[in-house]
Amino acid sequence: MRYELYYWPGIQGRGEFVRLALEEAAADYVDIARMPARAGMGMPALMRLLEDTAIGHPPFALPALKAGKQVIAQTANILLFLGPRLDLAPKAEAGRLWAHQLQLTIADFISEAHDVHHPIASGLYYEAQKREAKRRAQDFRVERLPKFLGYFEDVLARNAGGGNFMIGRRRSYVDLSMFQVLAGLSYAFPRAMARLKSRWPRLVALYQRVMARPRIAAYLASSRRLPFNPQGIFRHYPELDG
C-alpha cells in the first residue's frame, strides 16, 4: 500500500515522527505537500484534504495519513495504526498499548517544549511574548525537561530487553520518536542538554543507535530530512537556553 502523508512542507514538526517510522520501514509513501503542484499534489492537495466535507472522520490538524480510503490524524494515533503494519510495534496487545502510552507521553513533552517559545498564544509572534517565554524556559530547563527525560531513562532501565530499546528486545516507533525528541531538544537547548546529558546515558546511547541505523542514517543525509528551523516545534533562541 502507498501511504500519503499530509503535513506542512517547510518544517519537521509533528509530521517528522511519522516520517521516521515510514523511512525506517522503507514504506511506500509520498509526502504530499512537498510534491509538485503540477502533479496534482503539493499544497493544493493538502488544502483539499483539510477542506473536504465528504471525509467522515475529518482531521482537526495535521499530520494526517491517508491509507487507502482511511484518513487518520494525530501523530500518536497514526503511529498506533502504522506500528503493526510496518513491524514497528510489539505483537501483543499489552505491548502495543505500552508503546501508545509512551508515545502519548512524548506528545505531552513536545507540547511543553513548543510552549516554551509560545507560552501565551500560538497565534502571537515570539517577539510579542519574549518576557513570558524566558520565564517559561527557566521552568522547562530546570524542572520539566529533567522530569520527562528522567522518566524515559527509567523506562529504558526497567525494560526487560536489556535497556537497548524502549520496549522489549526490538526497535519500535517509540525509539524513533525518542531520537527525534532528543535531536530537537539538542537543537533548541544545546547548552542545557550538554550540561545535563550525563544524567541519561541510556537515552544518549539509544539516540546514537537510532541515528546509526542504515535507513535512518540514509534519511538524515538526504534532502528528505528538513533541517530544524525557527518555524518548527523545536526552536533555538539563545536567550531561552540559560
pLDDT for the residue numbered 40:
84
Distance separating alpha carbons of residues 102 and 233, to the nearest angstrom = 19
Q: What is the helix (H) or strand (E) element at residue 71, kind and residue range?
A: strand 70-73
Ranges under pLDDT 50 in the chain: none
Asked whether the domain spanning 93-213 has the same topology as the one spanning 3-85, the reply is no
CB atoms within 10 A of CB 90: 19
pLDDT for the residue numbered 32:
97
Query: What confidence tens digit (pLDDT) does each residue in 202-238 have?
Result: 999 999 999 999 999 999 999 999 999 999 999 999 9
Distance separating alpha carbons of residues 106 and 152, to the nearest angstrom = 9
Domain locations in the chain as residue ranges: 3-85, 93-213
Contact (Cβ atoms closer than 8 angstroms) between residue 211 and residue 171: no
Burial of 178 (0-12, 13-18, 19+ CB in 10 A): buried
Counting DSSP H helices and E strands in the chain, the numbers are: 10, 4
63 cis-preceded (ω within 30 degrees of 0): yes
C-alpha angle with apex 35: 34 to 38, nearest 5 degrees? 135
C-alpha cell at 131: 518576557
Q: Is this structure's pTM higher than 0.85? A: yes
Distance separating alpha carbons of residues 231 and 219, to the nearest angstrom = 21
pLDDT for the residue numbered 1:
87
Q: Assign domain 93-213 to its CATH architecture.
A: Up-down Bundle (1.20)
Q: Which fold has domain 3-85?
A: Glutaredoxin (3.40.30)
Query: What confidence tens digit (pLDDT) does each residue in 28-57 have?
Result: 999 999 999 887 899 999 999 999 999 999
User: In 1-129, which ranges are continuous DSSP H helix?
Assistant: 15-24, 42-51, 75-85, 93-117
pLDDT for the residue numbered 23:
98
pLDDT for the residue numbered 162:
72
pLDDT for the residue numbered 169:
92
How are beta strands 70-73 and 64-67 bridged, if at all?
antiparallel
C-alpha cell at 229: 528551523
- Sequence-distant (6+) residues with CB within 8 A of 64 are 5, 6, 7, 49, 71, 72, 73, 78
Select from 7, 26, 9 the least CA-distant residue to 17.
7
Select from 8, 56, 57 the least CA-distant residue to 33.
8
- Sequence-distant (6+) residues with CB within 8 A of 134 are 239, 240
Q: What is the helix (H) or strand (E) element at residue 67, kind and residue range?
A: strand 64-67
Distance separating alpha carbons of residues 131 and 144, to the nearest angstrom = 19
